[in-house]
Structure 1
Amino acid sequence: MSLESCKVVWTAPLKLEDAKWVKLVKTVYTDPNSKTRDWESAERCTRPAGVDYDGVGIVAILERPGTPPALLLQKQFRPPIGKVTIEVPAGLVDANETAEECALRELYEETGYRGEIADTDKSCLMFNDPGMCNTNLHMVHVKIDLEREENKNPQPQLEENEFIESFTVPLKDLYTECRRLEKEGYAIDARVGTLAEGFEIARKWRFS
Protein backbone atom coordinates (compact mmCIF):
# COMPACT_ATOMS: atom_id res chain seq x y z
CA MET A 1 0.00 0.00 0.00
CA SER A 2 1.35 3.42 -0.95
CA LEU A 3 0.05 6.97 -1.04
CA GLU A 4 0.82 7.10 -4.76
CA SER A 5 -1.91 4.50 -5.36
CA CYS A 6 -4.61 6.85 -4.07
CA LYS A 7 -6.88 8.44 -6.66
CA VAL A 8 -10.07 10.46 -6.93
CA VAL A 9 -12.94 8.20 -8.01
CA TRP A 10 -15.60 10.84 -8.64
CA THR A 11 -16.75 14.28 -7.56
CA ALA A 12 -20.22 15.82 -7.24
CA PRO A 13 -21.84 18.93 -5.75
CA LEU A 14 -22.31 18.66 -1.98
CA LYS A 15 -25.66 19.56 -0.44
CA LEU A 16 -25.51 21.84 2.58
CA GLU A 17 -27.35 19.34 4.78
CA ASP A 18 -24.76 16.66 3.95
CA ALA A 19 -21.70 18.79 4.79
CA LYS A 20 -19.89 17.78 8.01
CA TRP A 21 -16.66 19.77 7.83
CA VAL A 22 -17.25 22.85 5.67
CA LYS A 23 -20.10 24.95 4.35
CA LEU A 24 -20.52 27.48 1.57
CA VAL A 25 -21.65 30.97 2.56
CA LYS A 26 -22.70 34.12 0.74
CA THR A 27 -21.42 37.37 2.20
CA VAL A 28 -22.84 40.77 1.29
CA TYR A 29 -20.42 43.66 1.81
CA THR A 30 -19.85 47.25 0.71
CA ASP A 31 -16.79 48.26 -1.32
CA PRO A 32 -14.82 51.55 -0.92
CA ASN A 33 -17.40 53.27 -3.16
CA SER A 34 -20.26 52.14 -0.88
CA LYS A 35 -21.50 49.76 -3.57
CA THR A 36 -23.06 46.56 -2.26
CA ARG A 37 -21.41 43.38 -3.56
CA ASP A 38 -21.66 39.63 -3.01
CA TRP A 39 -18.89 37.17 -2.15
CA GLU A 40 -18.95 33.38 -2.08
CA SER A 41 -16.65 31.51 0.29
CA ALA A 42 -16.26 28.43 2.46
CA GLU A 43 -16.24 28.17 6.24
CA ARG A 44 -15.09 25.39 8.56
CA CYS A 45 -17.70 23.84 10.84
CA THR A 46 -15.16 22.54 13.36
CA ARG A 47 -13.87 25.60 15.23
CA PRO A 48 -14.56 25.29 18.98
CA ALA A 49 -16.75 27.96 20.58
CA GLY A 50 -14.77 30.87 21.97
CA VAL A 51 -11.65 30.12 19.90
CA ASP A 52 -10.55 32.47 17.10
CA TYR A 53 -8.48 29.97 15.09
CA ASP A 54 -8.94 26.52 13.57
CA GLY A 55 -5.68 24.79 14.31
CA VAL A 56 -1.91 24.79 14.11
CA GLY A 57 0.90 24.10 11.72
CA ILE A 58 4.03 22.68 13.31
CA VAL A 59 7.58 23.66 12.42
CA ALA A 60 9.22 20.60 13.97
CA ILE A 61 13.01 20.71 14.05
CA LEU A 62 14.87 17.48 14.72
CA GLU A 63 18.08 17.93 16.69
CA ARG A 64 21.00 15.56 17.27
CA PRO A 65 24.52 16.56 18.33
CA GLY A 66 26.92 16.63 15.40
CA THR A 67 24.26 16.67 12.68
CA PRO A 68 22.60 19.63 10.89
CA PRO A 69 19.05 20.50 12.03
CA ALA A 70 16.33 18.92 9.91
CA LEU A 71 12.68 19.75 9.29
CA LEU A 72 10.04 17.07 9.83
CA LEU A 73 7.71 16.84 6.83
CA GLN A 74 4.83 14.63 5.79
CA LYS A 75 3.25 13.14 2.69
CA GLN A 76 -0.55 12.98 2.55
CA PHE A 77 -2.97 12.36 -0.31
CA ARG A 78 -5.33 15.34 -0.58
CA PRO A 79 -8.53 14.55 -2.53
CA PRO A 80 -9.38 18.21 -3.44
CA ILE A 81 -6.30 18.35 -5.68
CA GLY A 82 -5.90 14.64 -6.37
CA LYS A 83 -2.23 14.66 -5.38
CA VAL A 84 0.10 13.59 -2.60
CA THR A 85 1.05 16.78 -0.79
CA ILE A 86 4.24 17.71 1.06
CA GLU A 87 3.18 19.28 4.35
CA VAL A 88 4.28 20.14 7.86
CA PRO A 89 2.49 18.29 10.67
CA ALA A 90 -0.74 20.09 11.50
CA GLY A 91 -4.12 19.64 13.08
CA LEU A 92 -7.32 21.17 14.41
CA VAL A 93 -7.46 22.60 17.91
CA ASP A 94 -9.68 21.01 20.56
CA ALA A 95 -11.85 22.98 22.97
CA ASN A 96 -9.95 24.38 25.98
CA GLU A 97 -6.59 23.65 24.32
CA THR A 98 -3.82 26.17 23.66
CA ALA A 99 -2.02 26.32 20.34
CA GLU A 100 1.10 24.92 22.01
CA GLU A 101 -0.79 22.02 23.56
CA CYS A 102 -2.44 21.31 20.22
CA ALA A 103 0.94 21.29 18.47
CA LEU A 104 2.51 18.79 20.87
CA ARG A 105 -0.56 16.53 20.76
CA GLU A 106 -0.85 16.54 16.98
CA LEU A 107 2.89 15.99 16.56
CA TYR A 108 2.73 12.87 18.71
CA GLU A 109 -0.44 11.53 17.09
CA GLU A 110 0.80 12.03 13.53
CA THR A 111 4.47 11.14 13.92
CA GLY A 112 5.06 9.47 17.30
CA TYR A 113 7.64 12.08 18.26
CA ARG A 114 7.63 13.82 21.64
CA GLY A 115 8.66 17.44 21.25
CA GLU A 116 9.03 20.55 23.33
CA ILE A 117 8.02 24.10 22.50
CA ALA A 118 10.96 26.17 21.26
CA ASP A 119 11.87 29.46 22.95
CA THR A 120 9.62 31.54 20.74
CA ASP A 121 6.03 32.74 20.65
CA LYS A 122 3.52 31.15 18.34
CA SER A 123 3.17 32.94 15.03
CA CYS A 124 0.73 35.69 14.22
CA LEU A 125 -2.67 34.44 13.15
CA MET A 126 -2.33 33.26 9.54
CA PHE A 127 -5.15 32.94 7.02
CA ASN A 128 -4.62 30.14 4.51
CA ASP A 129 -6.62 31.50 1.57
CA PRO A 130 -8.68 34.53 2.66
CA GLY A 131 -10.28 35.01 -0.75
CA MET A 132 -11.65 31.46 -0.64
CA CYS A 133 -12.24 30.51 3.00
CA ASN A 134 -11.99 31.67 6.61
CA THR A 135 -9.54 28.92 7.68
CA ASN A 136 -6.71 30.19 9.85
CA LEU A 137 -3.96 28.88 12.11
CA HIS A 138 -0.95 29.59 14.25
CA MET A 139 2.45 28.15 13.39
CA VAL A 140 4.18 26.68 16.45
CA HIS A 141 7.92 25.96 16.63
CA VAL A 142 8.78 22.62 18.25
CA LYS A 143 12.15 20.99 18.98
CA ILE A 144 12.54 17.20 18.81
CA ASP A 145 15.53 15.79 20.67
CA LEU A 146 16.50 12.60 18.86
CA GLU A 147 18.68 11.57 21.80
CA ARG A 148 15.62 11.09 24.01
CA GLU A 149 14.76 7.41 24.40
CA GLU A 150 11.11 7.94 23.47
CA ASN A 151 12.14 9.48 20.12
CA LYS A 152 14.38 6.64 18.98
CA ASN A 153 11.54 4.50 17.63
CA PRO A 154 8.51 6.81 17.20
CA GLN A 155 5.16 5.15 16.54
CA PRO A 156 2.39 7.34 15.07
CA GLN A 157 -1.08 7.16 16.62
CA LEU A 158 -3.06 7.59 13.42
CA GLU A 159 -6.81 7.35 13.08
CA GLU A 160 -8.38 4.79 10.76
CA ASN A 161 -8.83 7.32 7.97
CA GLU A 162 -5.36 8.88 8.28
CA PHE A 163 -2.54 7.79 5.98
CA ILE A 164 0.58 9.83 6.63
CA GLU A 165 4.22 9.21 5.77
CA SER A 166 6.83 11.25 7.65
CA PHE A 167 10.30 12.12 6.43
CA THR A 168 12.97 14.71 7.12
CA VAL A 169 14.87 17.29 5.08
CA PRO A 170 17.93 19.24 6.25
CA LEU A 171 16.88 22.86 6.72
CA LYS A 172 19.61 24.06 4.39
CA ASP A 173 18.22 21.85 1.58
CA LEU A 174 14.53 22.67 1.92
CA TYR A 175 14.30 24.96 -1.12
CA THR A 176 16.02 22.53 -3.51
CA GLU A 177 14.08 19.57 -2.09
CA CYS A 178 10.76 21.34 -2.71
CA ARG A 179 11.80 21.90 -6.32
CA ARG A 180 12.83 18.26 -6.69
CA LEU A 181 9.65 16.90 -5.12
CA GLU A 182 7.49 19.12 -7.32
CA LYS A 183 9.22 17.68 -10.40
CA GLU A 184 8.40 14.20 -9.12
CA GLY A 185 4.69 15.09 -9.11
CA TYR A 186 4.12 16.03 -5.48
CA ALA A 187 2.12 19.12 -4.52
CA ILE A 188 3.87 21.54 -2.16
CA ASP A 189 1.73 22.87 0.66
CA ALA A 190 1.91 26.67 0.97
CA ARG A 191 3.30 26.51 4.50
CA VAL A 192 6.22 24.36 3.38
CA GLY A 193 6.76 26.40 0.24
CA THR A 194 6.71 29.67 2.16
CA LEU A 195 9.32 28.38 4.62
CA ALA A 196 11.51 27.33 1.70
CA GLU A 197 11.09 30.67 -0.05
CA GLY A 198 11.98 32.49 3.16
CA PHE A 199 15.21 30.52 3.48
CA GLU A 200 16.06 31.21 -0.16
CA ILE A 201 15.38 34.94 0.16
CA ALA A 202 17.61 35.08 3.25
CA ARG A 203 20.36 33.25 1.35
CA LYS A 204 20.17 35.48 -1.71
CA TRP A 205 19.99 38.77 0.18
CA ARG A 206 22.33 37.63 2.98
CA PHE A 207 20.52 39.05 5.98
CA SER A 208 20.08 37.58 9.42
Structure 2
Amino acid sequence: MSEDQSKVLSTAPLSGDDAVWTKLVIKTYLDPKGVERTWESAERSTRPKGSDIDGVGIVVILDKETGPEIVLQKQFRPPLDKVVIEIPAGLIDEGETAEQAAIRELKEETGYVAEVLETSPVMFNDPGFCNTNLKMVHVSVDMSLPANQDLKPELEDNEFIEVFHVRLADLWQECIRLEAQGYAIDARIANIAEGIEIAKKYKL
Protein backbone atom coordinates (compact mmCIF):
# COMPACT_ATOMS: atom_id res chain seq x y z
CA MET A 1 0.00 0.00 0.00
CA SER A 2 1.47 3.36 -1.01
CA GLU A 3 1.17 6.71 0.77
CA ASP A 4 -1.32 7.79 -1.89
CA GLN A 5 -3.64 4.98 -0.77
CA SER A 6 -3.67 6.06 2.89
CA LYS A 7 -6.96 7.60 3.99
CA VAL A 8 -8.96 8.60 7.05
CA LEU A 9 -11.63 6.01 7.85
CA SER A 10 -13.59 7.95 10.48
CA THR A 11 -13.57 11.11 12.59
CA ALA A 12 -15.04 11.39 16.09
CA PRO A 13 -14.87 13.77 19.05
CA LEU A 14 -12.01 13.19 21.49
CA SER A 15 -12.42 13.84 25.21
CA GLY A 16 -9.70 15.63 27.13
CA ASP A 17 -9.14 12.55 29.28
CA ASP A 18 -8.37 10.44 26.21
CA ALA A 19 -6.10 12.95 24.45
CA VAL A 20 -2.38 12.07 24.57
CA TRP A 21 -0.73 14.74 22.41
CA THR A 22 -2.94 17.82 22.73
CA LYS A 23 -5.49 19.55 24.89
CA LEU A 24 -8.06 22.28 24.32
CA VAL A 25 -8.05 25.29 26.63
CA ILE A 26 -9.94 28.56 26.98
CA LYS A 27 -7.89 31.67 27.74
CA THR A 28 -9.30 34.71 29.50
CA TYR A 29 -7.39 37.86 28.65
CA LEU A 30 -7.57 41.66 28.53
CA ASP A 31 -7.51 43.36 25.15
CA PRO A 32 -5.69 46.70 24.56
CA LYS A 33 -8.82 48.60 25.68
CA GLY A 34 -9.02 46.69 28.96
CA VAL A 35 -11.99 44.57 27.84
CA GLU A 36 -12.01 41.02 29.21
CA ARG A 37 -12.33 38.44 26.46
CA THR A 38 -11.92 34.70 25.94
CA TRP A 39 -10.04 32.69 23.32
CA GLU A 40 -10.22 28.97 22.55
CA SER A 41 -6.91 27.35 21.65
CA ALA A 42 -5.02 24.08 21.53
CA GLU A 43 -1.81 23.23 23.38
CA ARG A 44 0.68 20.41 23.03
CA SER A 45 0.93 18.29 26.15
CA THR A 46 4.24 16.69 25.13
CA ARG A 47 6.74 19.56 25.38
CA PRO A 48 9.65 18.32 27.53
CA LYS A 49 10.28 19.98 30.88
CA GLY A 50 12.93 22.66 30.57
CA SER A 51 12.46 23.06 26.81
CA ASP A 52 11.12 26.23 25.21
CA ILE A 53 10.15 24.45 21.98
CA ASP A 54 8.15 21.45 20.82
CA GLY A 55 10.19 20.41 17.83
CA VAL A 56 12.47 21.22 14.93
CA GLY A 57 12.29 21.60 11.19
CA ILE A 58 15.45 20.63 9.32
CA VAL A 59 16.73 22.44 6.24
CA VAL A 60 19.08 20.27 4.18
CA ILE A 61 20.58 21.67 0.98
CA LEU A 62 22.65 19.25 -1.10
CA ASP A 63 25.30 20.53 -3.52
CA LYS A 64 24.68 18.96 -6.92
CA GLU A 65 26.28 19.56 -10.32
CA THR A 66 22.91 20.76 -11.66
CA GLY A 67 22.47 23.19 -8.75
CA PRO A 68 21.60 23.05 -5.04
CA GLU A 69 18.74 20.74 -4.08
CA ILE A 70 16.59 20.72 -0.94
CA VAL A 71 15.68 17.46 0.82
CA LEU A 72 11.89 17.00 1.08
CA GLN A 73 9.52 14.31 2.25
CA LYS A 74 6.09 12.94 1.40
CA GLN A 75 4.11 11.82 4.42
CA PHE A 76 0.41 11.08 4.96
CA ARG A 77 -1.11 13.38 7.61
CA PRO A 78 -4.49 12.26 9.02
CA PRO A 79 -5.61 15.79 10.09
CA LEU A 80 -5.59 16.77 6.40
CA ASP A 81 -6.41 13.32 4.97
CA LYS A 82 -3.67 14.02 2.43
CA VAL A 83 -0.05 13.25 1.71
CA VAL A 84 1.91 16.36 2.68
CA ILE A 85 5.11 17.76 1.15
CA GLU A 86 7.36 18.61 4.08
CA ILE A 87 10.91 19.18 5.20
CA PRO A 88 12.30 16.63 7.69
CA ALA A 89 11.06 17.47 11.19
CA GLY A 90 10.36 16.02 14.60
CA LEU A 91 9.70 16.57 18.27
CA ILE A 92 12.31 17.33 20.91
CA ASP A 93 13.14 14.55 23.36
CA GLU A 94 13.67 15.37 27.02
CA GLY A 95 17.16 16.71 27.62
CA GLU A 96 17.83 17.42 23.94
CA THR A 97 18.80 20.68 22.33
CA ALA A 98 17.21 21.72 19.05
CA GLU A 99 20.46 20.90 17.28
CA GLN A 100 20.70 17.41 18.80
CA ALA A 101 17.08 16.71 17.90
CA ALA A 102 17.65 17.84 14.31
CA ILE A 103 20.64 15.53 13.79
CA ARG A 104 18.75 12.60 15.36
CA GLU A 105 15.50 13.16 13.46
CA LEU A 106 17.27 13.63 10.14
CA LYS A 107 19.12 10.33 10.56
CA GLU A 108 15.94 8.52 11.59
CA GLU A 109 13.75 9.89 8.79
CA THR A 110 16.18 10.08 5.86
CA GLY A 111 19.37 8.24 6.78
CA TYR A 112 21.50 11.33 6.24
CA VAL A 113 24.31 12.08 8.69
CA ALA A 114 24.73 15.85 9.08
CA GLU A 115 26.40 18.69 10.93
CA VAL A 116 24.62 21.80 12.23
CA LEU A 117 25.23 25.10 10.45
CA GLU A 118 22.81 27.46 12.21
CA THR A 119 19.55 27.57 14.14
CA SER A 120 16.66 30.00 13.75
CA PRO A 121 14.82 31.90 16.48
CA VAL A 122 11.72 30.22 17.92
CA MET A 123 8.92 30.14 15.33
CA PHE A 124 5.20 29.69 16.01
CA ASN A 125 3.26 27.60 13.50
CA ASP A 126 -0.30 28.94 13.96
CA PRO A 127 -0.41 31.40 16.89
CA GLY A 128 -4.10 32.16 16.48
CA PHE A 129 -4.94 28.52 17.10
CA CYS A 130 -2.23 26.83 19.15
CA ASN A 131 1.01 27.36 21.07
CA THR A 132 2.99 24.82 19.00
CA ASN A 133 6.44 26.10 18.06
CA LEU A 134 9.78 25.00 16.65
CA LYS A 135 13.22 26.07 15.56
CA MET A 136 14.49 25.63 12.03
CA VAL A 137 17.90 23.96 12.06
CA HIS A 138 20.06 24.30 8.95
CA VAL A 139 22.51 21.44 8.47
CA SER A 140 25.20 20.39 6.02
CA VAL A 141 25.56 16.90 4.59
CA ASP A 142 28.96 15.60 3.48
CA MET A 143 28.05 13.38 0.54
CA SER A 144 31.53 11.82 0.54
CA LEU A 145 30.82 10.01 3.81
CA PRO A 146 30.00 6.30 3.35
CA ALA A 147 26.90 6.69 5.54
CA ASN A 148 25.53 9.28 3.12
CA GLN A 149 26.20 7.02 0.12
CA ASP A 150 24.20 4.11 1.55
CA LEU A 151 21.24 5.70 3.32
CA LYS A 152 19.57 3.68 6.06
CA PRO A 153 16.58 5.47 7.62
CA GLU A 154 15.40 4.27 11.04
CA LEU A 155 11.64 4.73 10.74
CA GLU A 156 9.21 3.69 13.46
CA ASP A 157 6.40 1.24 12.67
CA ASN A 158 3.88 4.06 12.24
CA GLU A 159 6.13 6.20 10.02
CA PHE A 160 5.87 5.98 6.23
CA ILE A 161 8.12 8.61 4.67
CA GLU A 162 9.26 9.01 1.07
CA VAL A 163 12.37 11.18 0.69
CA PHE A 164 13.04 13.14 -2.50
CA HIS A 165 15.02 16.19 -3.69
CA VAL A 166 14.00 19.33 -5.57
CA ARG A 167 16.27 21.94 -7.16
CA LEU A 168 16.01 25.19 -5.19
CA ALA A 169 15.61 27.11 -8.45
CA ASP A 170 12.47 25.05 -9.23
CA LEU A 171 11.00 24.83 -5.73
CA TRP A 172 8.12 27.29 -6.14
CA GLN A 173 6.94 25.77 -9.41
CA GLU A 174 7.34 22.28 -7.96
CA CYS A 175 5.08 23.22 -5.03
CA ILE A 176 2.46 24.44 -7.49
CA ARG A 177 2.78 21.25 -9.55
CA LEU A 178 2.53 18.97 -6.51
CA GLU A 179 -0.51 20.82 -5.14
CA ALA A 180 -2.22 20.39 -8.51
CA GLN A 181 -1.59 16.65 -8.17
CA GLY A 182 -3.48 16.59 -4.84
CA TYR A 183 -0.63 16.93 -2.34
CA ALA A 184 -0.81 19.38 0.56
CA ILE A 185 2.13 21.78 0.94
CA ASP A 186 3.52 22.34 4.44
CA ALA A 187 3.85 26.06 5.22
CA ARG A 188 7.52 25.71 6.15
CA ILE A 189 8.54 24.53 2.70
CA ALA A 190 6.13 26.95 1.01
CA ASN A 191 7.69 29.84 2.94
CA ILE A 192 11.17 28.82 1.82
CA ALA A 193 9.97 28.58 -1.79
CA GLU A 194 8.20 31.92 -1.65
CA GLY A 195 11.23 33.53 -0.02
CA ILE A 196 13.39 32.38 -2.93
CA GLU A 197 10.92 33.90 -5.40
CA ILE A 198 10.84 37.20 -3.48
CA ALA A 199 14.64 37.27 -3.45
CA LYS A 200 14.66 36.72 -7.21
CA LYS A 201 12.09 39.47 -7.83
CA TYR A 202 13.86 42.08 -5.73
CA LYS A 203 17.36 40.88 -6.62
CA LEU A 204 18.34 40.50 -2.96
Same fold (TM over 0.5): yes
- 2:191 is paired with a residue of what secondary structure? helix
Higher mean displacement: 46-55 or 140-149: 140-149
Q: Which amino acid is the alignment partner of residue 82 of structure 1?
A: D
Match of 1:183 in 2: 180
- Give 1:174's aligned residue: 171
1:193 and 2:190 are equivalent in the alignment: yes
What's 2:108 paired with? 109
**Structure 2: gaps of 5 or more residues:** none
Per-residue CA distance 1:31-61 (angstroms, 9 max, x = gap): 1111111100100011001111101000011
Q: Deviations over 1:87-109 (max 9, x none)?
A: 00000011111111110000000
Contact 1:70–1:170 (Cα < 8 Å) also in 2: yes
SS of the aligned residue for 2:17 comes to helix
For 1:4, give the aligned amino acid. D
Tell me the SS of whatever aligns to 1:145. coil
2:77 corresponds to: 78
Shift of 1:2: 0.6
RMSD of aligned residue pairs (Cα, Å): 0.9
**Match of 2:124?**
127
Q: Identity rate of aligned residues, in percent?
A: 59
Q: Residue 168 of structure 1: SS of its match in structure 2?
A: strand
Q: TM-score, normalised by structure 2?
A: 0.98
Counterpart of 1:9? 9
The alignment status of 1:147 with 2:144, answered yes or no, reads yes
Q: Shift of the alpha carbon at 1:63?
A: 2.6
Contact 1:63 1:143 in 2 (8 A): no
Q: 1:194 deviation in Å?
A: 0.2
Give 1:93's aligned residue.
92
Deviation at 1:112, TM superposition (A): 0.7
Instruction: Say which is worse superposed, 72-81 or 145-154, in terms of deviation.
Output: 145-154
Aligned length: 204
- Uncovered stretches (5+) of structure 1, i.e. residues with no partner: none
1:51 aligns with 2:48: no
Query: Which amino acid in structure 1 is aligned with residue 68 of structure 2?
Result: P
Verify the 8 A CA contact 1:63 1:145 in the aligned structure 2.
Answer: no
Q: Secondary structure at the match of 1:18?
A: coil
- Please state whether the residue corresponding to 2:10 is helix, strand or coil: coil
TM-superposed deviation, 1:67:
4.1
TM-score by length of 1: 0.96
1:128-184 deviation line (CA, Å, top 9, x unaligned): 000010000000001112221111120110001111110000111111111110111
Name the CA distance, whole Å, in 2 between partners of 1:143 and 1:176: 24
